[in-house]
Amino acid sequence: MSVMQQIRKRYSVRKYEARPVEAEKLEAVLEAARLAPSARNVQEWRFVVVQDAAMRAKLVEAACGQTFVGEAPVVIACCATNTDYVMRCGQSAHPIDLAIAIEHMALQAVEEGLGTCWIGSFFPEKVRDLLTIPADILVIELLTLGYPADTAPEKKRAPITDIVSHETWGF
């Protein structure tokens, strides 16, 4: 499958089949994150992979009651270890670096026949406590992973002419 096919096929899965994710597929998804670029090659990401059903159920509460979080066979807590580096452009590197790594995982998941959903609605301190993540580590996102049990909704995206300008700001 081409990268563009993966991009077109990827969507936020909110209903998962109960079957587990095979170890080799999970490993491929995590390897995609490991290979992602990061500012100054700091690779500040750390991932806590949660497959235990009881722990996933506890993460539902930390994720504002989103029940599909507990139904996904895998939940990955995406964390940052180094939050001090600010790029010359004025942006903190760690959320951008983590976003790149997470989307690498999401696209590899599509290649593996799996689906994902980025979870931004959660309480980081509850996740930190549940997963015994140290206080100096930031929990940036949660990512659910598994076999989709729903179908992709139609993507509603702005036309390219609404989001791209050439040479100068033309909006």
How does pLDDT run along the chain (171 residues), one tens digit per residue? Answer: 899 999 999 999 999 999 999 999 999 999 999 999 999 999 999 999 999 999 999 999 999 999 999 999 999 999 999 999 999 999 999 999 999 999 999 999 999 999 999 999 999 999 999 999 999 999 999 999 999 999 999 999 999 999 999 999 999
What's residue 37's pLDDT? Answer: 98
Residue 162 domain-assigned (yes or no): no
Residue 90 domain-assigned (yes or no): yes
CATH number at residue 21: 3.40.109.10
What's residue 1's pLDDT? Answer: 82
pTM of the model: 0.96
Look at residues 5, 27, 43 and name the one whose alpha carbon lies nearest to residue 145.
27
Residue 168 domain-assigned (yes or no): no
- C-beta neighbour count of 73 within 10 angstroms: 20
Residue 115 domain-assigned (yes or no): yes
Structure tokens at 100: 């790149």
- Kindly give, in sequence order, each residue whose CB lies less than 8 Å from that of residue 20, ignoring residues fewer than 6 positions away: 51, 73
Residue 136 domain-assigned (yes or no): yes
Residue 84 domain-assigned (yes or no): yes
Q: Which domain holds residue 107?
A: 13-149
- The domain tally of the chain equals 1
Residue 164 domain-assigned (yes or no): no
What's residue 133's pLDDT? Answer: 98
